[in-house]
Each structure stands twice: as structure tokens, then as C-alpha cells.
Structure 1
Amino acid sequence: MDRLGLLCRNIYENNKMTQRELAAAMDISLGTCNHLVKEGLDQELFSFDPVDGSYSLLKGGVDLLRNYRMDSAVILAAGFGSRFVPLTFETPKGLLEVYGERMIERQIKQLHEAGVTDITIVVGYLKEKFEYLIDKFGVKLLYNPEYHNKNTLTTLYRARECFIGRNTYLLSSDNWMRNNMYHTYECGAWYSSVYMKGETSEWCLETSKKGLLTGVKVGGEDSWVMYGPVFFSKEFSEKFFPVLEEYYHTPGTEQMYWEQVLADLLNGEVDSHLPGKHHFPVPEMYINRQPDNQVYEFENLEELRLFDERYQNHSDNIAMELISEVLQVPESEITGIKCLKTGMTNKSFLFKVHGKSYICRIPGPGTELLINRKQEKAVYDAIKDYGITEHVVYMNGETGYKISEYYEGARNSDPRDWDDVARCMALVEKLHDSKLHVDYSFDIRERIGFYEALCRGYEKKLFEDYPEVKSHMTTLLDRLDRLNRPKVLSHIDSVCDNFLFLPDGDLRLIDWEYSGMCDPLIDVSMCAIYSYYNDFEVEKLIKLYLHREPTSEERFVYYAYIALGGFLWCLWAVYKSSVGEEFGDYTIVMYRYAKRFYKKIITSPEFLGIGDGGTLR
């Protein structure tokens, strides 16, 4: 770090500082400061007027600072912020308000005060929410398409062009700085740091006597830790980004924070991730020690509540307000909030009220087109006293919001544990034998047509043989219709994750969004494809359900629903992909079930004439 440059910067910002004040501002001793002042006067970087105690920058000082002028800032805002659910289901973390001011806006204003107006925000999750900042502050948005499954190393890689040849701040949208810590000039790369007393799991910094970073370790005690904004000088970026790019292109680094690259460089451990590569120079970065109560990185809603009391009972969040109303408690008594694994259809979170655990379900994007919530509520009303589903505390047939009890210690069924599967099939059989009735059916032909319409032809571009496969599915639907089999209340979504084994040994079947009257064998077929069963497992499952060998007609219906279910959920996943949600190879797996089991039907003499008027298609 150029200490003379830093001295000139402080004089530029406040020309009437005493040497003691200068020393404090620069985090150096008074003796070192006195020496630097003398050196600066000798080099004619500035002058001193003993009459009014002021310093004045001379041409030499102005020229020195020119290379240190700040060019830009990059703000990372792509992540989801899972520890802030349910607030972040609606609003990106950086757009949450603290004392009535959005965190990212506060930082932008502070940057503007320092003369930094070239600001790029790297977005991903709910990216459209940041669009207004373009007009309000003149920022630029940079989209990171990998935000949903990779960490900040990838986000920084996507923004790398914003740093090369420039002096650039790197900020997180969800930081809050009490006082403005940005400057028009910065005289050496730094990482903001706060002192953590006692044990900490933060990234602890090791430094030289002059504040140069020499090492990083995760976790420590009574340590200065990485916390808050970072400054990348031109010189730092020139050395750092070639290494970061190597990491990005190396498998196994997808979940890394960008700081891991810096830590490896400082610790001499680059070869642990880039085997055989030791040639990278270590870029210089200094510690920027901040006082207490200056930099805040809120870890969760509980911390934000302690800082800004408005969040105690007025979070302005639909889910929190709903829970407060339903359970008749102030928001402050809703604690222990944790994001659960985001499902394919819904988002949900766990919370506690008076020591009891609940789950709040929030419909996912586009779900209102896929699911009739009034029908779902009708099913829950029909089965609520039958002892096979979760205890639903609240269900809204208009919005789809649901609050249910959470079973501590419960586990999902294991599709590879056949004892589990047998019990699950027994519960499905109990449902089918219940004679419960609702006034609507699950019509798989109608659902296929509906999802196909939502895809708007995209599915035909994805699959080369789509028209042929669609024709095959129509053939199966026609043959099923001719059988005119009886319908019972069916779950439809009999995935292993929807079967809960409770600690007392009881079993529950949850999430009845797709349920309706249908051929009971559809539940067995859906269980098979959701479990990614092979042919042997497919056969074993139907025998577990029936307790015997299936008839030819039963096996035909079972296979037909496996094919049709694969086709249906493939279209469903294609649609979900079009609204920004991806599920890996799910579309391919489901499409393969459609093709493979259609082929098994038309090539087997066992199914000759079933539902086809005696003619095999």
C-alpha cells in the first residue's frame, strides 16, 4: 500500500487534520505518520501552513493520486438468500430495507458521494426486481445465468471484465455500512475487516506488521475477519483474475466462494485445487480494519430484527403476516425460521411458535396455472379425518398458501427399501379403498394438452421425434378410454418424498395438489417413474400393491400410465424451465419412460386387443 498516496488522500479529503488524526485515519503509529509527513513535504507532494494548521496538495500530490482514482464498483446481488426466507421469496436480500432504506440503495448513494458512479450490479435470482435501479441511479445490470447452482466464484468470474485495468470496489448487496467508507482515491487493494472476540466461524486474516494479508483460515478465536466491502486495485486484478479463471474452469469449484482463490494464493495452497500449478504470483491485498458497529452482514431475520425493530412485528411479508393472523401471535414470536428444500412446485419454510414446529408452503412461480387450489382444498377437507395425511392448520383455496404441522424426527420413504415401499403401497391401497369422493377427476389427457399449450411449441424444438411420440401417447389414451375403468380418489403425486415415516412408526402421505378421481393404478405408475425404477423394480412394485400377479389388463393400464406419466411430467418440466426453474436430467428421464413403455406395450403379445377393439396399433 502506498502510504504517501494514502497521506495525500487524507489531506485531499480533510486538509486540517492534525498528525495524530492522520495517524489514526491511516491506522499507523504517530511516529510513522510524522516520518511520512516529512517525506511528503520534502518531495513537494503537499505544503503545510503553520498559521491555520492546514495542508495543501501540490502538483506532485495531485499527480500521485491520479493513478489511484476510483473507476467503478461491482455489487454482487445474484444469490437467493436462503437464511432470510420467507422475506427473500418475494424480495432479493439486497432490496430489503434497514431503517426504511434499501440496503443496496444505501451503498449506491455512498458510492455516489465518493464520486463512483460507474456501478454494475450482478443479478440472478429475481433479477427483474433490480431493473428500476437503472433509471433511479444509472447502474448497469449483468446477469449471471449460473446463480442458481454455483457460488460467488462464478459470479465474480462473470463480472471479470469490470475489473481489468480499473480500480474497482467489490460489494455485496446485503451489506450495511453505518458511515461511508468509500473514497474517491484508494491507494492499495484491501479487504474490510472487523474484530471478532471469542470463537468465530468466519474467515480469519493473518497479516504482516504493515497490514499486508499473509494468510487466511476458516474459524478462529479473537481474530480480525473478512467482513464487508473489498477494493480491487488494477495491479491486484491483473494478478488475481488469471487464477480465478483457472479455478472457474476446474471441476469441483462450483460451490466455492471467490475468497477461496485469494486464501489459496495467500496460504500457498493453489495446487490443492489446480494440481501442478505453482507459478501464480501472490497479489498484494491489505487489511482495512473497521471499528465496531460500522459494517453489518445480517446472517438471518433474527439478526435483522435485533438491529431494526420494525422487523419485530412488521416485516411487510405476506407469509409472516398470514402466520401471525392464523396462529394469533405477533410476528416476533415466529422464530426458528429455516428454508426447506425448494420443491418442484412450491417453496416452503420451517418455523416455530411457542416451541411447536410448522411448515408454511408458498406456491412457486407459475403454479397458479398448473394447480387448482380450490380442488386441492376440497381433497384435504375430504380426507382430513381419515388419518393418512399431515395435519393442516390452514389452507387457502384461492392463494394456495398452506400451514401444516411439522413432524420432528420424521423421514421420507426410501424407494430402494422395499419394506418402506410395501408400507407406502399399503397406505395408497387404503386411500383407494376408502370410497372417498370429490367432484372432479384427474384427466391426464386434458393435463397433457394443457401443459403442451403452455410450452407453446418449445417441446417440439427440444425433442426431434416429439410429433411421433405425441401420436403414440394419443394411441395409449384412446385405448385407456375404451376400457372405461372405475375411478377412485387418487393422489397422483406419489413421489417417495411425499411419504413421511413418523418417529412413532405412523405413516403419512402429504402434498395433494394434483389429486382427484382417477384409475387407482395411476398412483402405482407415478410412484415407479418418480423413483426412477428399472424394469425389474417396476414389476416388483405392482405386485406389492396388488399382493398378486397383475392381470394382462392391469399390467397394460400400469404400463400405459408409466408412459403417459413420463410424457406428462416431461412437458411439466419443460414449462417450468421456461419460467426459470431447472431440474437437471428430469425431462430426459421422463421422456425415456414415455418412449420405452409405449414400446413395451406395442411389442408384447400380452396386450394384444386390450382397449383396442382387437387391433394392435
Structure 2
Amino acid sequence: MNRQAYDILQCLYQEPFISQRLLAETSGHSLGTVNKCIKELIESGYIDDSVSMTQKAYLEFAQKAPRRAVILAAGFGMRMVPINTEMPKGLIEVNGEPLIERVIRQLHEVDINEIYVVVGFMKEKYEYLIDEFGVELIVNPEYATRNNLYSISLARNYLENAYVIPCDIWCDQNPFNKHELYSWYMVSDLVDNDSSIRVNRKMELVTVPDNSAGNAMIGICYLTKSDAAIVKKNVENLSKDHRYNESFWEEALYNKDRMIVSARVLHSSDVVEINTYEQLREIDSDANQLKTDAINVICNALHTVPNKITDITVLKKGMTNRSFLFTCNSEKYIMRIPGEGTDKLINRQQEAAVYSAIADKNICDDIAYIDPESGYKITKFINDARVCDPFDHDDVAKCMKKLRAFHELCLTVDHEFDIFGQLEFYESLWKGEPSIYKDYKKTKENVLSLKSYIDRHASKKVLTHIDAVPDNFLFCEKEGKEDIRLIDWEYAGMQDPHVDIAMFCIYALYNREQIDDLISAYFTEGCDDIIRIKIYCYIAVCGLLWSNWCEYKRNLGVDFGEYSLRQYRYAKEFYRIVCEELDSLNK
């Protein structure tokens, strides 16, 4: 049976047949289509000659009736900054009602009580739903590194005759029914440049070419038994392929250039996917979540009001913080919000002292506000800036020249970045848990043995950036000339400035040849073997330092993949290289 015939049958289930013209009006199909479908339904035995439903039709409804729902609520909701720093997106309120509660109530209205909620980020916030609404929570432990394709894989056994629903949807009218006869995926009639699909004349969902617009994807889907089996198989295959770690679950709906399910089109005013702070403000200007600490800080720091804060856009999530871009009074700014566990990692009073020491030195970005207590920071956005390309020789040479000029200012602050002390500190944050590396104890012992060489040959301590990595060198233009700014001074303190060289190398994941090239770019006059070996020592020590840091962050649910593994490798490999170099010098 085709989709149009199912639509006609659905209308006949809801209201007895009166006339084909009325049936055309209620179904949305033409009179000719209605006439054709009635003949097909009679021939296939779903209705009789009086256009009344048969037992076969009632059985069809019973077999395909919705029985359960899966709500996807595991993700960070990164585009919801700054709200997502305080509340998961599913609990955002519209007119005083959390989005996920509205969805659950609408499901209950059509007698769907078997509801699974896949949670991850701030999962504890959803725990009350178990008692209040009788839902079952499915925990996605990999929400930080994998998209909702993995979430749906955890619920793949519950997709038969099920609705799949994103948690950030607000529907004016209940989008669910007690009866469904075919699988569908919901889109709106709104044209969306970010959409990858459009509705064709057959009500199929087909892919659109790159740089073309499609129908806005709402994300609610219904799957019958047969289609659920196909999706389950697709999900199982795709979720095993790491190339799909960042993919949305809709990948499992495609067969070549189209989805295996039909389109269900709603008017854009009837359903809203709330992805951003400004979308929430537009739909409910009095929403409680609009009154976030971050927005209040911006208002106080820039002497403005909330509705003057516009164009809020999430920036790429950093290793330590979450940041977002916004416009206020025609000026662009970046606000930094400290990430998970950073209160244990970074002393914000010391950071503020560093910014005071480098003020007016034309070294860093322009600070509009910094709070030594919370760590909130507002900086002016640098237009048309780009980061250093660590594999571009000219970029690297310019950055090393800038870095050395900073070191030669010999600035001072009252605190030190103690590399060996921090190494022990990060390990202490594991709270007694052993390292994930089998040979950690021996590796640490080897690295600590390098301290005596470092102490003998350490340079005079000056204010050192510590995190002078390629991503923190910004190339921009000032007064018509190229300028380089060094940003993100969270870890800065008094230290041997050559530590910054080591940090650049290990973040860029350089091999030994590239490391030697970088050292030459910093020491244009040449670098003697004693200093070079000391930098190798720093590479080993700092590799273990950031490996320990990564292990702590991993315990918080944040995994840095290859970066973490490579840092540990630096600790082992450069300990060996130092030993070989020292043996060679002593011969």
C-alpha cells in the first residue's frame, strides 16, 4: 500500500466516510488521488464497497500502532551556550514547562508509557523523570566524544513501533498519534540552508546537493517494525565505524540518496527545535534559563541589557574551557566559561595577575573583563585572525620570534608554574585510581630522574606562557601590518622560558626532526647541545604532565584520543633520547 492510501485509511479510521470531496479535504490529497486510493483499498480488502473499514484494516492499525518512544538527551547541546553550562538542553523551560516533560506528557496523551531516555551530559538532572513519569534512563558514557548515532545504538532494541525524539523540540500541538500506518521523519516547510534533505513530489526525503537548501529537519521520527529492523542493522554497522563517531543517527535512515521513510511536513510555526539561547528568547522571553550567570556577567561588565546581547555562537570546544562568541553594541566579543573540573586545575587569581603583568605590552588579546573568582573572561574578538600553522615554516619562525621577544622582557609575577609539582598534583586528582598505562610507575620514575639535569642547566626564571601552543598564536592585522598575539594565559607563571618551546612541540605532535627545526627557529644564533638536551628533558616531563592531565579529564568524561596517547609516548621516547644524548656526550 502506498503512502496516499494509508493517509486515506487513517482518515476513515478517525471519521466515517461521507464523501470523497470531504475525504480529499481532510487527507490533503486531490480528489483524483482519493478516488484512486479508495479503489485500491477496496481491491486489497482494507475497506468494503460502502467505504467502511474491514477487519483486515483494523488488524493493520493494531500491528503498526505506536508502543514506545526513545528520547535522545545525552549531548552537550553546545549551541545552547551559555545555558548549557548550567542545565542540559532537555530541561530548558518554555512557558515554565521543561521541554522533555512536555514531550513525555504528549506521549502519555496517546497512551505511550514505555519511554526510554538516553542521557549523558548532566545525566543526574534527569533522574527525577524515573519516579515522576516512569521512564527508563539509558546512560551513554561516550556522549563527550560521539554523536547521537551512538546514543541510538544503545536503544536499538526499542525501535520497533517507536517514536524517536530529540529532547530539544517544542511542539505547539501534540505531534504523536495513537495510530500510525507507516514510518516517517518530520521536517518543516521552512527552507534551511543547513538541511541535507528536501521533500519531493512523492513525499520522499531526498538528499540535496552541497550548498543547496532543504527542508528544516525537526528530527522526530516514527518507525514501524519492518523499517525499525533495517535501521537497527544500519545503526549496528555504523556505530562500529569510528568514521561515524560524529554522525547523527539519521545516517541510519538513508538508502543511497534518500531516506527509507516518508516525509511528514509540519508548518514551521507548529514546531520549534530550540538549539540556541536566542531561539529560546524568541519563543519565551521570560524563560528562567535566560537568566544565566554568564549573561548577567556580560550585562554588568559591558553596561548593557540582555536583549542587546545578540549573535551568540558557540566556538570550538577547547581542552579546558567552553567559549562563545557574541555581539554587543556592534562590537564582537568572546566569553570564556571554565570547563569541567578547571577549578581544581587553574588558579584564577594567578591568571588575573598574569594579565595585569602583560597589560599594554601588545602581547595578548584585549581583555574587557576577567573575574579572578569564577574564571569568566570577556575578550574583544579579533576579526580575520588565524592560528599558527605548525607545519608552515614561516608561521613557526614568526611565532618563535614573538615568543622569544616576550621571554626577553623578563616579566615577573609572584607565582611559579612548578612542572614537577603539577605532575604530582594532576596524579593526585585521580583519587587513588591507578594509571591506565601498565608501565606508568616505571615511566614516571624515569621522567623524575631528569630533574637533576634540568636543575643544573635551567635558565633564569621569567614569566613563561606554559601553554604556548600553535592554537594560541593568533595572526591578525593591526594598523595595516601583520601582528601576532599570544592568547590563553591560564597556566602562565615563573619558569624556565625554554619550557614554552617544549610545549609547542608536544601539542603540535612533532617528531624529533621537527622539534630540532623548532629549536633552531627559536635560537637563530644556534643552540648548544646542553640546552637542546634540556629541552628534550622538558618534552619528556611535559609529556607526562599533560598525560596525567588527560587522565584526570578522562575520569570526568572528556577524552582527547590520540593527543593523550602521544603525550605519554613523549615521556617515554624522550627519556630514552636524553639518555642516548648524554651517553654520546660523555664518550
Q: Deviations over 1:248-289 (max 9, x none)?
A: 44564444444344342574xxxxxxxxxxxxxx96x44434
CA shift, 1:356, in A, is: 1.4
Measured at CA, do residues 507 and 467 of structure 1 come closer, stay the same or move farther in structure 2, by a change above 3 Å?
Answer: same
2:152 counterpart of 1:156: yes
1:79-112, Cα deviation, whole Å (9 max, x unpaired): 3333322222332322222222221111111001
Identify which range, 215-224 or 241-250, moves more after superposition.
Answer: 215-224
Query: Which residue does the alignment assign to 1:569?
Result: 546
Match of 1:451 in 2: 426
| 8 Å contact kept, 2:197–2:205 | no
Q: Residue in 1 aligned with 2:227?
A: 236
Structure 2 residue 284 is matched with structure 1 residue 293: no
- What is the aligned counterpart of 1:376 among 347, 351, 360? 351
User: Where in structure 2 are the equivalents of 1:178-327 lying within 5 Å?
Assistant: 178-196=172-190, 201=195, 203-208=197-202, 213=204, 215-217=206-208, 226-249=217-240, 252-264=243-255, 267=258, 285-291=261-267, 293-310=269-286, 315-327=290-302
Query: Alignment partner of 1:435: what SS?
Result: coil
Aligned residue among 376, 381, 404 for 1:429: 404
1:25/1:291 CA distance change after superposition, 3 Å: farther
Structure-2 change in CA distance of 1:36 and 1:546 (3 Å): closer
Q: Is the 8 A contact 2:474 2:486 kept in 1?
A: yes
Report the 3-state secondary structure (helix = DSSP H, G, I; strand = E; otherwise coil) of the residue aligned with 1:513: coil
- Partner residue of 1:328? 303
The secondary structure found in structure 2 opposite 1:388 is coil
**What letter is aligned with 1:155?**
S
Aligned length: 581
Q: Tell me, in whole angstroms, the C-alpha distance in 2 between the residues paired with 1:216 and 1:511.
A: 41
Provide the residue aligned with 1:88 in structure 2: 84
1:113 is displaced (CA, Å) by 0.9
Q: Which has the higher contact order (CA 8 A, sep 6+)?
A: 2
**Aligned with 2:558 (options 564, 570, 581):** 581
Do residues 523 (structure 1) and 500 (structure 2) align?
yes
User: Does the aligned pair in 1 maintain the 2:322–2:336 contact within 8 Å?
Assistant: yes
* CA shift for structure 1 position 178: 0.5
In 2, Cα distance between the equivalents of 1:546 and 1:593? 22
Percent of residue pairs identical: 37
Task: Check 1:600–1:291 CA distance in 2 against 1; reply closer, same or farther (3 A cut).
Answer: closer
Cα distance, 1:331 vs structure 2? 1.5
Check whether the contact 1:206–1:216 (CA below 8 A) recurs between aligned residues.
no
CA distance 1:286–1:429, shift in 2 (3 Å): closer
Question: Residue 127 of structure 2 is aligned with which of 131, 143, 166?
Answer: 131
Flag the 1:411–1:117 CA change in 2: closer, same or farther, 3 A. same
Which of 453, 468, 472 does residue 494 from structure 1 map onto? 468
Secondary structure of 1:302's counterpart equals helix
- Report if the CA contact (8 A) 2:192-2:216 is conserved: no
2:197/2:214 contact within 8 Å kept: no
1:392 to 2:367 alignment: yes
Matched residue SS, 1:194: strand
Q: Tell me, what secondary structure is at the counterpart of 2:186?
A: strand
Q: Deviations over 1:381-426 (max 9, x none)?
A: 1111222111111111111110011110111112222332232222
**Structure 1 residue ranges without an equivalent (≥5):** 49-54, 268-281, 610-615
**Shift, 1:338, TM fit:** 1.6
Between stretches 5-14 and 322-331, larger displacement belongs to: 5-14
Shift of 1:548: 2.7
The structure with more radius of gyration: 1
**Pair 32,344 (structure 1): closer, same or farther in 2 beyond 3 Å:** closer
Give me the CA root mean square deviation: 3.6
- Per-residue deviation, 1:183: 1.9
Aligned-partner SS, 1:603: helix
Q: Secondary structure at the match of 2:442?
A: helix
Deviation string 1:53-76 (CA, Å, 9 cap, x unpaired) is: xx9999887656432432101112
Distance 2:230 2:578 in 1: 62
1:27 is the counterpart of 2:28: yes
Q: Distance in 1 between matches of 2:486 and 2:221?
A: 49
The aligned amino acid for 1:184 is: K
Question: Could you tell me which amino acid in structure 2 is paired with residue 307 of structure 1?
Answer: I
Structure 1 residues 247 and 196: alpha-carbon distance in aligned structure 2, compared to 1, 3 A threshold: same
- If the length of structure 2 is used for normalisation, what is the TM-score? 0.87
